[in-house]
Structure 1
Amino acid sequence: MKKIVLIGAGGHARVLIDTLSADKTAEVCGILDNNRDLWGIDIHGIPVIGGDDFLPKVGSQGATHFVIAIGGAKQAALRLKLYEIALQHGLTPASVQHPSAIISPRIKVGEGVQALAQCVINTGVTLQENSIVNTSAIIEHDCFIEAHAHIAPRACLAGGVRVGEGTHIGLGSIVKENITIGKQVVVGAGAVVLNNVPAHSVVVGVPAKPIVHKEVA
Structure 2
Amino acid sequence: MKPVLVPTNDVNSEHGIVVNWFVDDRGKVEAGALLVEVETSKAVLEVYAPEPGVVLHLVRQGTEVPLTEPVAMLFDSLSDLTAYSDRLAAEAEARAAAPGAARATVKAVQRAQELGVDLSTFDGSRLITVKDVEAAAGASQAEPATVDYSAMPAALATEPGVARILLIGGALGATQVIDIFSQVPTQQAVAIVDDDPGRWGTDVHGVPIVGGSDRLAALFAEGVFEAAVIAIGSSVDTRARFRNICAEAGIPLANAIDPTAKIATDVVIGQGNIICAFCHLGTGVRMGDNNFLSAYNSFDHHSVIGSDNATGPSCVSSGKVTVRDRVRLGTGIFLEPGVVLGDGVQVASGAVIVTSVPANHAVKTKVVTTTVVPRRS
TM-score normalised over the length of structure 1 = 0.91
1:51 to 2:212 alignment: yes
Could you give the per-residue CA deviations for residues 54-108 of structure 1, whole angstroms, max 9, x where no partner exists?
A: 1111111521100000001xx1111111111122222211001101111101111
Structure 1 Cα separation of the partners of residues 251 and 163 of structure 2 = 11
Amino acid at match of 1:30: A
| Counterpart residue number, 1:211 | none
CA positional deviation for 1:167: 0.3
Count of paired positions: 204
Matches within 5 A, 1:30-179: 30-59=191-220, 60-72=222-234, 75-179=235-339
Structure 2 Cα separation of the partners of residues 115 and 77 of structure 1 = 19
**Structure 1 or 2: more helix by fraction:** 2
Matches within 5 A, 1:2-13: 2-13=163-174
5+ residue gaps, structure 1, are 207-217
Instruction: Kindly name which structure, 1 or 2, has the bigger radius of gyration based on alpha carbons.
Output: 2
Amino acid at match of 1:37: G
CA positional deviation for 1:152: 2.2
| Native 8 Å contact 2:294 2:312 kept in 1 | yes
Structure 1 Cα separation of the partners of residues 279 and 212 of structure 2 = 31
**Structure 1 or 2: more strand by fraction:** 1
TM-score normalised over the length of structure 2 = 0.53
Could you give the per-residue CA deviations for residues 23-72 of structure 1, whole angstroms, max 9, x where no partner exists?
A: 11112111111110000001100000011111111111521100000001
Structure 2 Cα separation of the partners of residues 133 and 158 of structure 1 = 16
Structure 1 Cα separation of the partners of residues 210 and 180 of structure 2 = 21
Structure 1 Cα separation of the partners of residues 182 and 251 of structure 2 = 20
Could you give the per-residue CA deviations for residues 86-140 of structure 1, whole angstroms, max 9, x where no partner exists?
A: 2222221100110111110111111112211001111010110111222011111
CA positional deviation for 1:158: 0.9
Q: Secondary structure at the match of 1:92?
A: coil
| Native 8 Å contact 2:233 2:311 kept in 1 | no
Structure 1 Cα separation of the partners of residues 262 and 215 of structure 2 = 36
CA positional deviation for 1:150: 1.8
Structure 2 Cα separation of the partners of residues 16 and 114 of structure 1 = 7
Structure 1 Cα separation of the partners of residues 196 and 312 of structure 2 = 24
| Counterpart residue number, 2:94 | none
Q: Secondary structure at the match of 1:6?
A: strand
> Among the aligned pairs, what percent are the same residue?
29
CA positional deviation for 1:177: 0.7
Q: Which has the higher contact order (CA 8 A, sep 6+)?
A: 1
5+ residue gaps, structure 2, are 1-161, 367-377
